[in-house]
Chain A
Amino acid sequence: MIHLSDVRKAFNQGKANEFWALKGIDLSVRAGKVTVFRGPSGSGKTTLLTLVGCLARPTSGRVRLRDRDISGLPERFLTDIRRSTFGFVFQQFNLLKGISAVENVMIPAYPLGRDRNELSERAHALMASLDIAAKAHSNAEWLSGGEAQRVAIARALINDPEVVIADEPTANLDSERSRQFLGIVETLKASGKTVLMTSHDPLVCDTAVVDHVVSLRDGQLVESR
């Protein structure tokens, strides 16, 4: 579904502090599967995730979504692809403070001009399916880590994306919450979603739901199984 060929990404290019986060990645991500990018801090896994998720463009190389080359598309088109194809669960969850959990869930759908009532119904249904319906009207800052993550997952799913991207999803969770998260991933996979995660947590990498583990070190792919 997603193909990367010789993808490189530099930060501060041409400056004294130039840094190459990715140094020629060739990779294919299959649809309907769960793929984990594993590696130590600074190995380039989050950068790889941002390129795959259309949050950034590669410095060189090709990123193809199905058969479409998306590596050189302007920001506007990337945004369009991002909101229709990808749903994001960030490491810090990145919920907006001061507004309710359900409003946080609906935010990605606002610019699409969907009917407000239908949107609210879908948001509540998603929250119910993730077992956080009771927290729908709680402010985001009042939620526990596990609750905040499930709100972030509901937000990622509001536009019914094909691909769910999660950056270090278990980094802020205890083992019990991590297992609950993997249970949600299993449900997503069963519903046909493609899931991409970064993690260096063995609990995530060694679980049965994961189909594909890609190991990175110093911006290069060292192992793929």
Chain B
Amino acid sequence: MRVWLNKQRNLLDFSLSSLSRRRGKTLGMLTVYTSIVFVLASVMLFSHAIRREAATVLAKSPEVLVQRMVAGRHDLIPARHLDAIRGVRGVQSAEGRLWGYLFDPAAAANYTLMVPTNPRIEPGKVVIGDGVVRVRNADPGDLMSFRAHDGSLVQFKVDHAISRESALVSADLFLVAEEDFRRLFGIPAGMFTDLAVSVRNPREVGKIAEKIDAALPDTRIVLRDEILRTYESVFDWREGMLLVLLAGSILAFAIFSWEKASGLSAEERREIGILKAVGWETGDVILLKMLEGLVVSLSAFLVGYLLAYAHVFHLGAGLFEPVLKGWAVLYPKYRLTPFVDELQVATLFFFTVFPYTVATVVPIWRAAIVDPDQVMR
């Protein structure tokens, strides 16, 4: 065992020394390799983290939403539908929600208006998201005025801003009291934007949705899982689009690494001949070259992955932000929760380290099986 360990150590030392001898080639390879791992890992880490973020946010949302449809369009829903829903067995609670969008000409941005039920907001006051604070330069105590549906002026006094921690979902929020919301949009009492339903047993969601649908034929039922799937699709699509755009550079890397790793120079062939002549077995030569390949690919993988981690979770993924996050006037400023998926790491590892190692071993095996007497000639 000791002999085996000494041999591995000696070969590793020699492989490091060999790499340092070809400094230019090694550093060039390492730089390109690290860059490609960085780019791929950044896209994967970002997409995965944001999907997870969306799932975490949605976990707190109601399992079932009921919206009224008129001529295929979403319309206001009467409060009496709540009684029908509460009558369905398995429904834990049902309540009406008021929400909508308001265009602010002063900021040229759309706000999401909502009426929170807990805690309630005092009439005439507003709680605003971080994005609204930025575009309106608003501080607590400031006044904000909007034209209501009938042209009258509705004024709000900023109560406070929502913490930046939740900016991903709250950047464009504008929370107002129920009375103010109804006055602004002219929504009569007894009407809601939609209804939120909680169920007792999550496994019964599908069945309960069917019952509500049967009881209220003028409505459509939106399940939380469906929203989650929509988010997944959006981010999958964006990740895929970015990866397709990057495919060119990945292909260029593949060609570059194949050429660099597989093309043995005359000097390298000569060295392999010398090693064999002085008593190295073919297996020793292949092991040495595999170690060289592993040192390069593992270093590139680790450095690339760590850089990607820092890029995504500490620097806000600046390079891919516009593609992966989308665009808005009220761009949320937030920091993603670091999350690393083992399967994703393994996939990236397999598709970067493995091909490179194979690319290096094949030509070396070819060179290493030549007769050692070549060096005498």
Q: Do A and B come from the same complex?
A: yes
Among A49, A75, A116, which residue has its beta carbon within 8 angstroms of that of B10?
A: A116
1/0 per residue A211-225: CB within 8 Å of B? 000000000000000
Q: State the CA gap A5–B70 with chains docked (Å).
A: 104
A-contact bits for B1-30, CB 8 A (1 contact / 0 none): 011111101110110011011100000000
Interface string of B276-295 (1 = CB under 8 A from A): 11111110100000000000
The count of chain A contact residues (Cβ–Cβ below 8 Å) is 33
Q: Are B11 and A110 in contact (CB under 8 A)?
A: yes
A145 CB to nearest B CB, Å? 18
Question: Scoring A residues 104 to 124 as 1 if CB is less than 8 Å from chain B, else 0, what string do you get?
Answer: 000111111111100100000
Complex formed: what's the CA distance from A91 to B9 in Å?
Answer: 31
On whether A46 and B7 interact (CB within 8 A), knowing A108-B279, A111-B281, the answer reads: no
Chain B binder among A27-35, A76-84, A128-136:
A76-84
Proximity bits, A80-113, B CB within 8 Å = 1, else 0: 0011000010110010111100010001111111
B271 at the interface (CB under 8 A from A): yes
Asked if B7 and A110 make an inter-chain contact with CB atoms under 8 angstroms apart, the answer reads yes
In the assembled complex, the Cα of A97 lies from the Cα of B22 at a distance in Å of 10
Contact between chains at B376 and A110 (CB < 8 Å): no
Number of B interface residues at 8 Å Cβ cutoff, please give it.
35
- Report the Cα distance A99→B22, complex, angstroms: 11
CB distance from A125 to the nearest CB of B (A): 18
Interface status of B373 (Cβ within 8 A of chain A)? yes
Question: Is A41 close to B, CB under 8 A?
Answer: no
Residues of chain B within 8 A (CB-CB) of A190 are none
Does more than half of chain B's interface fall in helix, strand or loop, or is it mixed?
helix
In the complex, what residue of chain A is closest to B7 when comparing beta carbons? A113
Hey, which chain A residues are within 8 Å of B14, CB to CB?
A: 103, 107, 110
Cα-based distance from A79 to B10 in the complex (angstroms): 19
Identity of the chain A residue whose Cβ is nearest the Cβ of B2 in the assembled complex: A113
Q: Which residue of A lies closest to B377 (CB)?
A: A46
Q: B285 → chain A, closest Cβ, in Å?
A: 9
A90:B375 contact, CB within 8 angstroms: yes
Q: Which listed residue, A91, A113, A119, A155, touches B278 by the CB 8 Å rule?
A: A155
Pair B278/A107 contact, Cβ less than 8 Å: yes
> Which residue of B has the minimal Cβ distance to A85?
B279
CB contacts under 8 Å to A, within B253-286, are 267, 270-271, 274-282, 284
A115 touches B6 (CB 8 A): yes
Report the nearest A residue to B375, measured CB to CB. A94
B373 lies within 8 A of A50 (CB): yes
Question: Which residue of A has the minimal Cβ distance to B372?
Answer: A55
Contact A90 B376 (CB under 8 A): yes
Report the bound CA distance from A96 to B17 in whole Å: 11
Interface check A159, CB cutoff 8 A: yes
CB of B225 closer than 8 Å to a CB of A: no
Interface residues of A (CB under 8 A from B): 46, 49-50, 55-56, 75-76, 79, 82-83, 88, 90-91, 94, 96-99, 103, 107-116, 119, 155, 159, 167
